[in-house]
């Protein structure tokens, strides 16, 4: 009886995350999906951070998707039908689950560009439910190709095939749309530790030497100094960083068999002479300068993008996390008090 209860407990825990359909690893398969896309990637047509599904052709032959379909409703296998589209061996195809129902060659109005556009990507006629639901891929004869049932999902954490064994599924805190899944995923939803720095954010009169560390001796640390979010291809930390000018250092811990740890962000101001607080906003450069959707494009209005915001003064430092409308929570370093900041 004890063995049965233990088995039942483990089985129910697994069902909370994922139920995999048959076959476990088809040649044309659902390779990764993200149902809460807060900051990972935006589509090239409308510039929105929306749910996505990634297909992958793992066979040695090209596959014409004409007549194939994908659905979130088991009773309606042909909910979204593909037009003619040949997927080459080893090729990925990204589908945006935004309920727009558009395919390449269609036209639509883009509110951020304030004009009609020619659609370049695939936009499904349904969205993914972050509370969990069904996904099914069918061929032109309505035969099941691949399916998955998933449970409650977290923001910016995807579910995807294990890089070395496609019959297994992992969670990824660093999703990779239109690219191979990384080795930094977890079957048990375990994160690597958060990195730590030797010098905290703030104002300094002279150059600072910043060291980054991890509590795990087997982990590696990746970091950036250009405002972008670190990923597994970012600069590998091998030694202390000389901070001789105003910069923001973002770092992240990577450990095999675990999801990357939370991003650690620290801003440094060297030799600044000011009596007023300084606001530091760091984000990926394409969120600012992208030709179609960068915030510095005059035509763009009210578009939100993910960013890390820090306010620093000579007497008090605050760390905030916010989108570009600056609706966020502020927390002084020295206390646990939180306040609303706009």
* Of 304, 294, 309, 298, residue with least CA distance to 324: 304
Give the list of residues 6+ apart from residue 57 with CB closer than 8 angstroms, or none: 27, 28, 63, 87, 88, 89, 90, 91
Alpha carbons 170 and 174: distance in angstroms, whole number: 11
Per-residue pLDDT reduced to its tens digit, 35-93: 999 989 999 999 999 999 999 999 999 999 999 999 999 999 999 999 999 999 999 99
Question: What percent of the chain has a predicted confidence (pLDDT) above 70?
Answer: 83
Mean pLDDT (the chain) is 84
pLDDT at 185 over 50: yes
DSSP state of 4: H
Contact 222, 234 (CB under 8 A): yes
Report the SS3 class of residue 7. helix
Second-level CATH architecture of 2-172: Sandwich (2.60)
Q: Which helix (H) or strand (E) element contains residue 270?
A: strand 264-270
Half-sphere exposure of 155 (CA within 13 A, CB side): 5
Binned at pLDDT 50, 70 and 90, residue 329 comes out as very low
Contact 284, 228 (CB under 8 A): yes
Residue ranges of domains in the chain: 2-172, 196-341
Mean pLDDT value of segment 322-336? 32
Binned at pLDDT 50, 70 and 90, residue 5 comes out as very low
Per-residue pLDDT reduced to its tens digit, 228-287: 999 999 999 999 999 999 999 999 999 988 999 999 999 898 988 877 777 788 888 888
Alpha carbons 51 and 36: distance in angstroms, whole number: 6
> Which pLDDT score is estimated for 217?
86
Give the list of residues 6+ apart from residue 196 with CB closer than 8 angstroms, or none: 212, 213, 214, 215, 264
Kindly list the strands in the beta sheet with 317-323, ordered across the sheet, starting from the edge strand earlier in the chain.
278-282, 306-312, 317-323, 328-332, 339-341
Site of tokens 């101001």: 269
Binned at pLDDT 50, 70 and 90, residue 315 comes out as low
pLDDT at 172 over 90: yes
Residue that wins the pLDDT comparison between 259 and 217: 259
Contact 31, 160 (CB under 8 A): yes
Alpha carbons 238 and 221: distance in angstroms, whole number: 8
Residue that wins the pLDDT comparison between 35 and 297: 35
pLDDT at 324 over 70: no
Report the range of poorest mean pLDDT among 82-96, 136-150, 261-275, 307-321: 307-321
- Burial of 319 from C-beta contacts in 10 A (0-12 / 13-18 / 19+): buried
Contact 230, 253 (CB under 8 A): no
pLDDT at 167 over 50: yes
> Which pLDDT score is estimated for 25?
55
Report the range of poorest mean pLDDT among 143-152, 217-226, 293-302: 293-302
């Amino acid at each position: 009886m004890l063995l049965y209860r233990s088995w039942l407990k483990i089985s129910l825990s697994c069902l909370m995350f994922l139920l995999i359909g048959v076959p476990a690893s088809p040649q044309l398969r659902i390779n990764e999906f993200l149902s809460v896309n807060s900051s990972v990637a935006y589509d090239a047509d409308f510039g929105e951070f929306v749910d996505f599904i990634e297909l992958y052709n793992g066979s040695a032959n090209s596959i014409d998707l004409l007549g194939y379909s994908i659905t979130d409703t088991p009773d309606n296998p042909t909910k979204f039908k593909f037009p003619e589209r040949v997927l080459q061996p080893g090729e990925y195809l990204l589908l945006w689950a935004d309920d727009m129902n558009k395919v390449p060659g269609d036209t639509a109005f883009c509110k951020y560009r304030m004009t009609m556009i020619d659609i370049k990507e695939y936009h499904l006629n349904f969205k993914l439910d972050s509370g969990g639901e069904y996904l099914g891929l069918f061929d032109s004869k309505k035969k099941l190709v691949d399916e998955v049932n998933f449970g409650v999902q977290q923001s910016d954490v995807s579910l995807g095939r294990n890089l070395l064994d496609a019959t297994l599924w992992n969670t990824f805190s660093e999703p990779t749309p239109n690219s191979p899944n990384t080795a930094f995923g977890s079957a048990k939803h375990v994160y690597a530790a958060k990195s730590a720095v030797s010098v905290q954010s703030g104002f300094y009169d002279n150059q600072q030497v910043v060291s980054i560390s991890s509590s795990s001796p087997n982990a590696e640390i990746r970091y950036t100094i250009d405002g972008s979010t670190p990923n597994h291809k970012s600069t590998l930390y091998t030694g202390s960083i000389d901070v001789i000018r105003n910069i923001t250092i973002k770092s992240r811990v990577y450990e095999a068999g675990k999801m990357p740890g939370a991003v650690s962000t620290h801003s440094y101001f060297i030799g600044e002479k000011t009596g007023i607080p300084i606001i530091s906003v760091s984000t990926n450069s394409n969120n600012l300068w992208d030709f179609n959707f960068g915030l510095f494009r005059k035509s763009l209005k009210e578009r939100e993008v993910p960013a890390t915001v820090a306010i620093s003064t000579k007497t008090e430092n605050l760390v905030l996390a916010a989108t570009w409308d600056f609706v966020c929570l502020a927390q002084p370093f020295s206390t646990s008090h939180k306040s609303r900041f706009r």
